[in-house]
A = this chain, B = another copy of it.
Amino acid sequence: MSITTQPRKRRKEDRPAELMTAALGLFVEKGFAATRLEDVALCAGVSKGTLYLYFDSKEALFKSVIQEGVVPVLVEGEGIAARHEGNAFELLEKLLANWWAGIGETNFAGIPKLMVAEARNFPEVAQFYYENVIRRGRALLGSALERGMASGEFARLDVETTIDVVIAPVLMLFIWRYSLAGCQSTPADPRQYMAIHLSLLRAGLKGSQV
């Protein structure tokens, strides 16, 4: 009939996402252990018990947050790579920009910090994250680097390690934002940070020919 939001029915379907959003916000803010489920519930506007209608335990909630939160972001990047036709460095730029834009505006940007902090306490989750996010993201970057090396646009370097070096400053950008940002220890202007990172890469990766 009207737009009035059948509050009951709609809730049922949206609840898990609402809860995971609330949980993500607190997990990236305080870490897993220091986050109280009561606060997650409060933050989502429900009671403590409601969490257990959708998640078996605090740990299960944590896993879900990680597992649901990050995979979609990579799909977009894979699409960009598939459609790209210009040179390799332009692809790199696009990928990094997209990654930064797509994640950087949301709390998903806090997941790297969260994984870094909790990987050892949740080996299963770390394994999942490695298989489904890290490995896939690296493959994406690696294909761009190899494209450039094949065409002579980039110098020949060890690809795997170059991926590490290329990706590290972007990860740190996100990590800083969720850790020491309060101490003004973070790049004041992320755009400039990315620009310099890319300018270093442009010159640093350059191969023998154009």
Please give the residue numbers on chain A whose beta carbons come within 8 Å of chain B beta carbons, in ascending order.
29-31, 33-34, 113, 115-121, 123, 126-127, 129-130, 134-135, 157-158, 160-162, 164-165, 168-169, 171-173, 175, 178-180, 182-185, 187-189, 192-193, 196-197, 199-206
A157 with B121: CB separation less than 8 A: no
Task: Report which of B121, B134, B188 forms a contact with A30, defined as CB distance below 8 A.
Answer: B121
Known A29-B120, A117-B31, A171-B172; contact A161-B179, beta-carbon cutoff 8 A: no
Report the separation of the CA atoms of residues A70 and B173 in the bound assembly, to the nearest whole angstrom.
22
B204 with A202: CB separation less than 8 A: yes
Shortest Cβ distance from residue A125 to the other chain B in the assembled complex, whole angstroms: 10
Complex interface: chain B residues within 8 A of A134 (CB): 180, 183, 185
Shortest Cβ distance from residue A137 to the other chain B in the assembled complex, whole angstroms: 10
B204 with A201: CB separation less than 8 A: yes
Complex interface: chain B residues within 8 A of A157 (CB): 196, 199
Report the separation of the CA atoms of residues A60 and B80 in the bound assembly, to the nearest whole angstrom.
49
Shortest Cβ distance from residue A93 to the other chain B in the assembled complex, whole angstroms: 15
A120 with B165: CB separation less than 8 A: no
Listed by A's residue number, 25 A-B pairs whose Cβ atoms lie within 8 Å are A30-B120, A113-B117, A115-B180, A116-B175, A116-B180, A117-B179, A120-B179, A126-B179, A130-B185, A134-B185, A158-B192, A160-B188, A161-B196, A162-B196, A164-B169, A164-B187, A165-B196, A168-B168, A168-B169, A168-B172, A172-B172, A200-B200, A200-B205, A203-B203, A203-B204
Complex interface: chain B residues within 8 A of A184 (CB): 130
Report the separation of the CA atoms of residues A182 and B127 in the bound assembly, to the nearest whole angstrom.
9
Report the separation of the CA atoms of residues A132 and B162 in the bound assembly, to the nearest whole angstrom.
31
A127 with B183: CB separation less than 8 A: yes
